[in-house]
Amino acid sequence: MPTDFLLSAIVLTPGVVGLFLLATPREAARLQRWVSLLASLLTLAFAAVAWSRFDPANASFQLVEARTWLPSVGIGYRLGMDGISLVLVLLTALLQPIVFISSWRSIHDKVKGYVVAMLLLETGVLGAFLATDLFLFYVFWELMLVPMYFIIGVWGGERRIYAAVKFVLFTLAGSLLMLVAIIYLSFVFHSQTGTWSFAYEDMLRAAVPMGQGFWHSPQMLLFAAFALAFAIKVPIFPLHTWLPDAHTEAPTGGSIILAGVLLKLGTYGLLRFNRPLFPEAWHRATPLFLILAVIGIVYGALVAWAQKDMKKLVAYSSVTHMGFIVLGLFAGTLTSTQGALLQMVNHGLSTGALFLLVGVVYDRRHTRMIEDFGGLAAVMPLYTGAFLIATLSSIGLPGLNGFVGEFLILTGAFPRHPAVVAVAATGVVLGAVYMLSLVRRVFWNPLAIEANRSLPDLTWREALAFAPLAFFMVWIGVHPGTFLSLSEAAVRRLIGG
């Protein structure tokens, strides 16, 4: 495959295959499952090829593709990959086949719609990570909305409609203002240079005027519009209320993708766009975001602690974890930003694994209430082991991936914001509290409920879905340098350090 098409191949493979699958008869569920799995594996292979051709020393975009699209408006089909997009593309491409494997049996109704929605969603996510044109980015960003709406609304739990509509409205509320901001940014660039463009590299050169105050400062307003869209996606406290609903009601596969990669788009956007495009506004907004991040960390942990529903607990743990990532981004040092990026991957792995594993018992018992379980360690030893690994990764046990990310964020942020770090560190402790108490209640308590005595252990398919996640948890935990070195040059460039 020539390099010129590699990124397009990564982005378009799932979506194009998905559109072809639309034409297959609805009874051909087996075919649809296999083809979608193969398409996602092919995408993963393309992503691996991109990794092998990637030069970590080079900070700028690589494997660049640029084609004209709407030249008179300055819009191009521009794709490019730097270290930051690379790690997130790898994460996405890795999680997608896992999603298909995990929903092999659990989705048996309307299989065609499900796999098509998933594949289109993957195209949207990958496109958003690789787009280097703001218009194109926006198109991919919104492209994710419709498939996710269907995934939650059709295959979700009891309150799926409420959750799906809430997801759509929250997401759009942020992104529509971002659209105006994107247009305005292009307008500023035009007024300064006389050329129309939506290219990311051009926008970096547009110096948006800072002005006075908030309402009269174009830079603050644009920053706010972008930040709102991303903060809702992350989600940053207090915009997080859609998350527990969407995560809880979505089918297992939807939760994995939602937590694993969709949330990362918010933090990715903050890093990719807000930070370099609006540096002064970023600086001025830092205290606010640090405070919100810390509130999110502590609040998310406390609420997670109080949950009776396993899936909701994991959902709230996302609020905490994403709070750490936001903290790392806004602390702004190289170490903390690198830690935040690594933590994006870590959270994708560990939370993806937790949702996957909660889905396993839900498929068997059709309940996710913690009180309905207990003593599972005796009947499902393999499952218990897997859950324990995911838990320990999530709470940051040294040797596993979560520790590296949190450690880098906290050490990176400490010199600049010691007080913030001190409060945030309590979140690490609370994380251990709610996760370990979950493990105790589900796995170690006495096996009191009769229905749980005969639960089958992990099937080979479920184990197969979990294995790659565990593999990367250990790899990152033992040798994070593999991934940190990929993104270092690009992060340096973005934070100007």
Binding region for other proteins (CB under 8 A): 26, 68-73, 110, 113, 135, 138-139, 142-143, 145-146, 149-150, 153-154, 160-161, 164-165, 168-169, 172-173, 176-177, 179-180, 183-184, 186-187, 190
How far is the C-alpha of 171 from the C-alpha of 146, rounded, in Å?
11
Instruction: CB nearer to other proteins: give 110 or 284.
Output: 110
Least CB distance to other proteins at residue 305 (A): 33
How far is the C-alpha of 14 from the C-alpha of 19, rounded, in Å?
9
Least CB distance to other proteins at residue 113 (A): 8
How far is the C-alpha of 18 from the C-alpha of 111, rounded, in Å?
12
The Cα angle at residue 316 between residues 310 and 318, in degrees rounded to 5: 110
Amino acid at 435: M
How far is the C-alpha of 150 from the C-alpha of 440, rounded, in Å?
35
Least CB distance to other proteins at residue 85 (A): 20
How far is the C-alpha of 168 from the C-alpha of 152, rounded, in Å?
10
* CA atoms within a 13 Å half-sphere pointing along the CA-CB vector of 130: 31
Instruction: CB nearer to other proteins: give 112 or 272.
Output: 112
Instruction: CB nearer to other proteins: give 149 or 475.
Output: 149
Instruction: CB nearer to other proteins: give 187 or 471.
Output: 187
What are the residue ranges of helices labelled H in 54-144? 83-106, 111-130, 134-143
Least CB distance to other proteins at residue 159 (A): 12
Instruction: CB nearer to other proteins: give 176 or 291.
Output: 176
Residue 204 contacts by C-beta under 8 Å, 6 or more apart in sequence?
A: 276, 277
How far is the C-alpha of 181 from the C-alpha of 221, rounded, in Å?
8
How far is the C-alpha of 28 from the C-alpha of 311, rounded, in Å?
31
Least CB distance to other proteins at residue 110 (A): 7
Instruction: CB nearer to other proteins: give 28 or 45.
Output: 28
Measured in residues, the chain has a length of 497
Task: Describe the chain by its helix, strand, coil percentages, rounded to 5.
Answer: 75, 5, 20
Least CB distance to other proteins at residue 82 (A): 24
Instruction: CB nearer to other proteins: give 102 or 171.
Output: 171
Least CB distance to other proteins at residue 447 (A): 38
